[in-house]
Amino acid sequence: MAGADGNLIAVVAAIIAIGVIAQILSDRFQVPSVVFLIAAGILLGPEVLGVVGPDSFGSALSAIVGLSVAIIVFEGAFHLRIQKLREAPTATLKLVTIGAGIALIGTATTVRFLLSTSWDVAFLVGALLVATGPTVVTPILEVVPVRDRVEAALETEGIVNDVTAAILAVVIFEAITAGITQPGALLQLFIERLGIGLLIGAVVAALLVYGLQYIDLSPGNAPRNARLLVLAGALVAYGTADFIATEAGIAAVATAGIILGNIDIPYEADISAFKGDITLIVLSFVFIALAALLEFEILRTIGLPGLGITVIVALVLRPLLVFISTRGNRFNAGERLFMSLVGPRGIIPASVATLFAIELRDAGMNQAANILVGTVFLVILITVVAEGGFARQIAEYLDIIPMRVIVVGGGTVGRALADRLEDRGENVVLIEQSQETVEVARNEGFTVHHGDGTDTDVLASAGGDSARIVVGATGDDDVNLLVSQLTRSKFDPETILARVNNPDNAEAFEDLGVRSISTALATAQALDNYIERPAMMDWMGEIGYSGDIQEIEVTSENLIGRPIRDVGPELPPDSLIALVKRNGNIRVPEADFTLEHGDQVTIIGGRDEVRDAIRFIHPDR
């Protein structure tokens, strides 16, 4: 017994170590970590080295995988912010309803006819393959910094569909094993499990909020105790709901995570960092362990029809549901195509399919078990390796990675600037050296890189190579000047801006060709404008909220060669072209002024109207 336990400990330790190495390789080569994890699992599995096999974990595998999935789903839900969903609320809702329906019915129909299996088994496979999941989507988004609207839609789809797929698959499985055929009974089973999960998750979240805010967690160890309390709460939510109804635990941890992530709780930054580290460990274990269970013989039994199913799922059904779900929204063609080509399946289908296959074989349904495991694992394997491995290349080819804006200095000025930039859809990263200020900024929802902004390596790791704008916004002129010098010599972004706290230092910045904003001069100008131009300043104060001013390049073929008098009426109401910049010259355009490709036009008007006008003038924005 001791030898078996020792072997199990060695296997688990090796898996965790490999998982850490996979994460390092992911950061180094900008490839999602799940690609390395699956490769490691196959290498360690019985088909290659034979280090890990079906018997390595005994009967504990299902419990270990279940708890690991609970942590992963909770962590993904914890980072899902309601305000981010406002970036694309209609598309997100359609993805988890209409899109999920298309995936379910389309996949089931494909499996039914290509593998000549029964409808109930086909729908079981279809239900599992609805799920994309945070386990595969989040690692991809870590190396592909897409716009908020794309990230929000993909993350929400992954979390919600994980819950939907798990519960739906259990309901269909019970229909197969118990012979339930009435649609009303199946719907009741689905609603019961979802309802139990939502209720347990909400209750646990309420208890955690109360504990974090009103119970003395021992001041010296409060952050640690808060982390452990939340981790325990997530596991309790999962275990309690799953004990009451199978797979209701997934809905419970997702609910608890979303609630806690969107409430102002103490030690949020500590909890978030801790959960991220724990998730890395369990994600490594689950992917490697399940990949090690893959049997090539089962894949060979489904053969070419299995490959056909994978192609249809990835290249027909996925694009179809994405383009239908995002129709008429803010997504441009490149973003919609990226979402179509990046929809890998993850842990939920793999873990649930493995458990179902065991029960199906025990019931003498070997063919159904092989079809279930073979199809699900083949789709997971190909979509994760192909879509996950080439996600960044796909995004770069489609030109959908937004240029970063790096703001060095996470103080009041830096955060205020970042807030306005993010509201306009920019991808902003703050760099801040003070740990206290880092926590404040993260609690306010900003992306913050902890480090010294005058260090070239720190600037590079924050995305200096892809930065379009770099701003030195600290309260120290020497720091802002050094940031400007390093940025110009090492990264060469389009624009470098610097805050000048001492007006006497402004000349030094200008000598370097750095646009500088003097705090004292800017304040004086603002006060003078309020004295001389109060109406304009009142309106300017609403920029980014009710009103806006934006500069955009003319790229629409429908506008080139047309005069302002014809273009103006086609702009959204409450918006107009105020300035045009051409060949370095700026002018207020008269009615007969003809637009040319590459003109930089300044649009003024209402906030939403200006954004609509931007898409009208520059459709690919």
The segment with the largest mean pLDDT, out of 114-123, 327-336, 358-367, is: 114-123
Residue 273 CB burial class (10 angstroms; 0-12, 13-18, ≥19): middle
pLDDT at 424 over 70: no
Following DSSP, what letter does each residue of 415-458 receive, concatenated? HHHHHHHHHTT-EEEEEES-HHHHHHHHHTT--EEES-TT-HHH
Nearest to residue 189, comparing CAs of 222, 167, 217? Answer: 167
Per-residue pLDDT of 47-56, as tens digits, reads 788 777 767 7
* Residues 156, 293: Cα–Cα separation, whole Å: 29
Pull the structure tokens for residue 116: 């000549």
- DSSP state, 503? G
pLDDT of residue 88: 57
* Residues 258, 316: Cα–Cα separation, whole Å: 32
The stretches of 245-294 forming alpha helices (DSSP H) are: 248-261, 268-291
Give 19's contacts (C-beta < 8 A, 6+ positions apart): 33, 37, 40, 280, 281, 283, 284, 285, 287, 288
The stretches of 115-182 forming alpha helices (DSSP H) are: 119-128, 134-143, 148-178
> Which of 145-154, 372-381, 486-495 has the least mean pLDDT?
145-154
* Residues 612, 420: Cα–Cα separation, whole Å: 18
> Which of 74-78, 428-432, 447-451, 539-543 has the least mean pLDDT?
539-543
Other CB atoms within a 10 A radius of the CB of residue 297 amount to 9
Residue 9 CB burial class (10 angstroms; 0-12, 13-18, ≥19): exposed
Task: Give me the mean pLDDT over the 311-319 stretch.
Answer: 94
Mean pLDDT value across the chain: 82
H or E stretch at 602? strand 600-606
Give percent of the chain with pLDDT exceeding 90.
13
Looking at per-residue pLDDT, the higher value among 587 and 56 belongs to 587
Looking at per-residue pLDDT, the higher value among 99 and 181 belongs to 99
Torsional class of 399: left (φ above 0), alpha (ψ -120 to 50), beta (otherwise): left
In angstroms, what CA-CA distances link 184 with 109, 171, 174, 181, 193?
A: 22, 12, 14, 9, 14
pLDDT at 107 over 90: yes
pLDDT at 217 over 70: no
* Residues 449, 427: Cα–Cα separation, whole Å: 13
Q: Please, are residues 357 and 294 in contact by the beta-carbon 8 Å criterion? A: no
The segment with the largest mean pLDDT, out of 28-32, 261-265, 577-581, is: 577-581
pLDDT of residue 219: 67
Looking at per-residue pLDDT, the higher value among 149 and 596 belongs to 596
> Which of 115-129, 182-196, 283-297, 534-548 has the least mean pLDDT?
534-548
Task: Give me the mean pLDDT over the 369-387 stretch.
Answer: 87
Q: Please, are residues 129 and 345 in contact by the beta-carbon 8 Å criterion? A: yes
Give 216's contacts (C-beta < 8 A, 6+ positions apart): none
Q: What are phi and psi of 499, to 5 degrees?
A: -80, 130
H or E stretch at 490? helix 477-490
Pull the structure tokens for residue 344: 């890998």
> Which of 98-102, 243-247, 289-293, 581-585 has the least mean pLDDT?
289-293
Give percent of the chain with pLDDT exceeding 70.
90
Per-residue pLDDT of 486-496, as tens digits, reads 888 888 788 88
Residue 87: band (very low, low, confident or very high) from pLDDT cuts 50, 70, 90? low
Task: Give me the mean pLDDT over the 273-289 stretch.
Answer: 73
Residue 446: band (very low, low, confident or very high) from pLDDT cuts 50, 70, 90? confident
pLDDT at 269 over 80: no
The stretches of 51-133 forming alpha helices (DSSP H) are: 61-78, 82-85, 89-94, 100-114, 119-128
- Note every long-range contact of 482-487, with CB atoms under 8 Å and residues 24 or more positions apart, other chains counting: 482/454, 483/408, 483/453, 483/454, 483/459, 484/509, 484/512, 484/514, 485/512, 486/454, 486/456, 486/459, 487/459
Give 305's contacts (C-beta < 8 A, 6+ positions apart): 114, 115
Residue 3: band (very low, low, confident or very high) from pLDDT cuts 50, 70, 90? very low
